[in-house]
Amino acid sequence: MSREEVWVTGMGLVTPLGVGVPAFRDGLAAGRSGLRRLEGEEWAATGADVAGVAPVIDPLDVLPRNEARSVDRFILMALLAAEEALEASKLTVGQNVDAERVAVIVSSGAGGLSTYEEQAVARSARGRIAVSPALLPGMLPNMPSARIAIRHGIRGLSSSIAIACAAGAMSVAEGLRLIREGSADVVVCGGTEASLAPSAVTAFGNARALARAGTGDPEAASRPFDRNRSGFVLAEGAGVLVLERAAHARARSATPCGRVLGWGATSDAHHPTAPRPDGAGAAAAMRLALADAGLAPGDIGYLNAHGTGTRTGDLAEARAVRSVFGDDGPAVSSIKGHIGHPLGAAGAVEAVATLLALREGRLPATANLDDPDPECALDHVRGAPREAAVRAAVSNSFAFGGHNVSLVLGAAGAPD
């Protein structure tokens, strides 16, 4: 018995390269950077001086005035990305899809950090009266999914997943599972993160995890797989995909952006923040994803790496990739050189980047990869995007806690 085929029929983004998929696609193609210097005393006190900052969003452009107060930025970005994805899919819940057969799983690694911090400061300064009664619905991690469901009348499962930087990818995997098991015809899934809250930035800086621009070019701070990498650049953004049962999509003459072919997830069971040095957990996730997709390593033409620019993380991932694919593996790149690391949104944003690469036959380059670390030897795409006709790809996401998630994505119309 063959399994249900799952199409991606819509995609939406908010990233440091702009609002919308076209801004992101064109930015990657042109080699533009979304990294900028953080100015002002507030940021100087955090120890960070560069970040991937998405465009300013006026809450009143997204929500009615009576709902816009105290709504965290991570919710606003998710609503914008979902709006674009659903519009691209040409789905209208309750018209060409049953509202109870649509699910939404849009996750975050941290939730509304800035909103919580602002309210905590206000309470400390002015007491109980300063705390907004809208605090919790404005910052809880489930609220992007809840708000999307409310906005679009989605009455199926609404959920979120809390596994840090792998949350977005796991949301896509859960969407695939829901459709395969027959629990939904459509799943709106992805991740969102607005992590540029002073306390969080300070914590990452004190952990010596962040790259700094110093007196140099802030656009050069994020350097995945480069010999001179020094940490990741914190970023914000949102990515949402509309997954749809292929038979349902065909019945309404929908056009796929691509397909979700398989997934794999493992735990390192090693350390709260550091990956296994040998990359064994990451390799196991990739092997599970390939087996789930019914593909062999040689079927994969491109790998979108987690590739954050940390010394231990990049090295562990490179070892994992070589373990699975050998020395003659797929082309590899990380988009975090362009946009930084948007934590729980990363896996969803990178899934969109991978699907765009498959659709357009253009693999994004890893920005700032000027001197590849010989210990991270892979077939790196660097300098400029590479033209290549690829039918299947892997997208990796790894997280604090040892969470490893790999997705196998296919070009639209590619055979199983």
Detail the DSSP E strand segments found in 316-359: 331-333
Residue 253 in tokens: 């003459």
| pLDDT for residue 66 is more than 90 | no
338 is catalytic: no
Both 184 and 279 in one domain: the answer is no
User: Angle at CA 192, nearest 5°, toward 186 and 194?
Assistant: 165
| pLDDT for residue 377 is more than 70 | yes
Of 251, 271, 300, which residue constitutes the final position of a domain? 251
> Is there a domain that residue 285 lies in?
yes
Catalytic-role residue among 306, 338, 380, 403: 306
Both 318 and 241 in one domain: the answer is no
pLDDT band at 53 (very low <50, low <70, confident <90, very high): very high
Of 251, 270, 286, which residue constitutes the final position of a domain? 251
Both 197 and 274 in one domain: the answer is no
Both 344 and 390 in one domain: the answer is yes
- CATH value at residue 129: 3.40.47.10
In this structure, what are the phi and psi dihedrals at residue 232, rounded to the nearest 5 degrees? -100, 160
> Is there a domain that residue 1 lies in?
no
Express each pLDDT in 67-101 by its tens digit: 887 799 999 999 999 999 999 999 999 999 999 99
> Is there a domain that residue 121 lies in?
yes
Mean local confidence (pLDDT), 32-53: 91
Contact predicate 357/325, CB 8 Å: no
Smallest CA-to-CA distance from 194 within 28, 322, 81, 49 is with 81
> Is there a domain that residue 154 lies in?
yes
Catalytic-role residue among 152, 248, 338, 341: 341
Q: Name the one residue in this structure whose structure tokens are 């038979």.
A: 247
Both 215 and 288 in one domain: the answer is no
Indicate the length of the chain as a whole number: 416
Both 150 and 229 in one domain: the answer is yes
Both 236 and 338 in one domain: the answer is no
Mean of the per-residue pLDDT values of the chain: 95
As a whole number of angstroms, the distance between CA 351 and CA 340 comes to 15
Both 277 and 142 in one domain: the answer is no
> Is there a domain that residue 145 lies in?
yes
Helix or strand or coil: residue 278?
Answer: coil
Question: What pLDDT is recorded for position 2?
Answer: 63
| pLDDT for residue 349 is more than 50 | yes
Of 195, 217, 251, which residue constitutes the final position of a domain? 251
> Is there a domain that residue 257 lies in?
no
Question: What pLDDT is recorded for position 44?
Answer: 84
> Is there a domain that residue 216 lies in?
yes
Residue 405 in tokens: 């998630």
Contact predicate 346/172, CB 8 Å: no
Percent of the chain at pLDDT exceeding 70:
99
Domain count, the chain: 2
Both 289 and 189 in one domain: the answer is no
376 is catalytic: no
| pLDDT for residue 198 is more than 80 | yes
Alpha helices in 70-197 (DSSP H): 73-89, 113-126, 135-139, 143-152, 167-180
Contact predicate 94/176, CB 8 Å: no
Both 285 and 196 in one domain: the answer is no
Q: How far is CA 294 from CA 49, 212, 214, 327, in A?
A: 45, 42, 47, 22
In this structure, what are the phi and psi dihedrals at residue 28, rounded to the nearest 5 degrees? -65, -45
Catalytic-role residue among 165, 189, 257, 376: 165
As a whole number of angstroms, the distance between CA 125 and CA 14 comes to 34
Both 206 and 316 in one domain: the answer is no
Mean local confidence (pLDDT), 286-304: 98
Both 157 and 182 in one domain: the answer is yes
Question: What pLDDT is recorded for position 416?
Answer: 44
Using the CB atoms, write b or e for 158-174: b if 16+ within 10 Å: bbbbebbbbbbbbbbbb
Q: What is the model's pTM?
A: 0.96
Smallest CA-to-CA distance from 241 within 348, 399, 346, 357 is with 348
Express each pLDDT in 262-285 by its tens digit: 999 999 999 999 999 999 999 999
Domain with 277 in it: 262-410
Percent of the chain at pLDDT exceeding 90:
93
Contact predicate 44/87, CB 8 Å: no
165 is catalytic: yes
CB hemisphere CA count around 168 (13 angstroms): 32
As a whole number of angstroms, the distance between CA 26 and CA 28 comes to 6
> Is there a domain that residue 17 lies in?
yes
| pLDDT for residue 330 is more than 70 | yes
